[in-house]
């Protein structure tokens, strides 16, 4: 059972993300739904941090985790879509995030050997997940609990968007260099 904990965490993320995506569209209508979404997003993001850490620390790395953890990570980034629809973040940083994820997944799939996660990819995740949590926290809600913080929306729209864009571009270039350029130079 101890060896299955990372897989359980990954499966939890896979199961919770689609309902969260739907709930996120309704979060603006009710402070209770908004609080539930904040709580669930924090739980899902925590599972992303814990599954890899636990698998590496206790040597529980599995084929399931190698396959489904990156998939669960991609699913998690779909939570940015309602934020774009609500004008919480511009579509360009989110498009760059999706483009980076799609291209790195593709490059990994065509590589002749397994490609471990890169530092730039981990930093991209360390920026994108907390940023997503901040956007969800700052979401305007009818009779919401956190209206006092709404003045920060414009700041995070621009600064968060620029930061997300930069880490996505850097991570994408890093993956491309590590997988394509180094491979062809050998």
166-182: per-residue pLDDT in tens?
999 999 999 888 777 76
Q: Which residues contact 156 (CB under 8 A, 6 or more apart)?
A: 88, 89, 131, 134, 135, 138
Q: Of 9, 38, 71, which residue is a domain's last?
A: 71
Q: What is the pLDDT of residue 168?
A: 94
Asked if residue 184 and residue 127 are part of one domain, the reply reads: yes
- Domain shared by 91 and 60, yes or no: no
d(C-alpha 117, C-alpha 120), whole Å: 8
Of 71, 106, 133, the domain-final residue: 71
The phi, psi pair for 159, rounded to 5°, reads: -65, -45
159 inside domain: yes
Angle at 115 between CA 169 and CA 63, to 5 degrees: 125
Q: Are residues 56 and 123 in the same domain?
A: no
Summarised one tens digit per residue, pLDDT across range 143-154 is: 776 777 777 778
Closest among 33, 169, 44 to 95, alpha carbons compared: 169
Instruction: Determine, yes or no, domain membership for 176.
Output: yes
Give, as one character, the DSSP assignment of residue 111: S
**What DSSP string describes 138-186?**
H---TT-S-GGGGGGHHHIIIIIHHHHHHHHHHHHHHHHIIIIIHHHH-
Q: Which of 21, 40, 71 is the last residue of a domain?
A: 71
pLDDT tier at 113 (50, 70, 90 boundaries)? confident
Same-domain check for residues 59 and 97: no
Q: Are residues 102 and 166 in the same domain?
A: yes
User: Same structural domain for residues 66 and 98?
Assistant: no
Considering only residues 185 and 30, tell me which one the structure prediction assigns the higher pLDDT.
Answer: 30
**Together in a domain, 117 and 165:** yes
Q: Quick one: pLDDT band at residue 186, thresholds 50, 70, 90?
A: low
pLDDT at 106 over 70: yes
Domain count, the chain: 2
Q: Please tell me the pTM assigned to this model.
A: 0.87
Does residue 80 lie in a domain region? no
Among 184, 175, 181, CA closest to 107: 175
Sign of CA dihedral 140, 145, 146, 147: positive
Query: Which tens digit of pLDDT belongs to each residue from 115-143?
Result: 777 889 889 999 999 999 999 998 888 77
Q: What would the mean pLDDT of 100-119 be, rounded to a whole number?
A: 79
In this predicted model, what pLDDT tens digit does every residue of 49-77 receive, in sequence order?
898 889 888 988 888 887 888 888 889 99
Residue 92's pLDDT is 95
Residues 98 and 129 in one domain: yes
Domain that holds residue 47: 1-71
Each residue of 154-165: pLDDT tens digit? 888 899 999 999
Residues 178 and 103 in one domain: yes
184 pLDDT band (50/70/90 cuts)? low
Residue 81 in any domain: the answer is no
- The answer on 118 and 174 residing in a single domain is yes
Q: Are residues 101 and 59 in the same domain?
A: no
């Amino acid at each position: 059972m101890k060896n299955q904990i990372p897989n359980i965490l990954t499966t939890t993320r896979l199961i919770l993300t689609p309902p969260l995506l739907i709930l996120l569209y309704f979060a603006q209508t009710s402070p209770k739904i908004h609080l539930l979404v904040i709580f669930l997003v924090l739980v899902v993001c925590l599972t992303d941090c814990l599954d890899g850490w636990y698998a590496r620390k206790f040597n529980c790395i599995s084929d399931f985790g190698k396959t489904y953890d990156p998939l669960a990570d991609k699913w998690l980034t779909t939570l940015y879509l309602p934020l774009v629809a609500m004008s919480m973040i511009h579509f360009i940083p989110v498009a760059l995030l999706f483009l980076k994820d799609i291209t790195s997944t593709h490059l990994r799939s065509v590589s002749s050997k397994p490609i471990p996660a890169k530092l730039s990819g981990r930093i991209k995740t360390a920026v994108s997940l907390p940023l997503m949590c901040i956007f969800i926290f700052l979401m305007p809600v009818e009779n919401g609990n956190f209206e006092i913080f709404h003045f920060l929306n414009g700041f995070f729209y621009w600064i968060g968007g620029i930061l997300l864009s930069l880490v996505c571009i850097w991570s994408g270039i890093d993956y491309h260099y590590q997988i394509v350029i180094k491979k062809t130079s050998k």
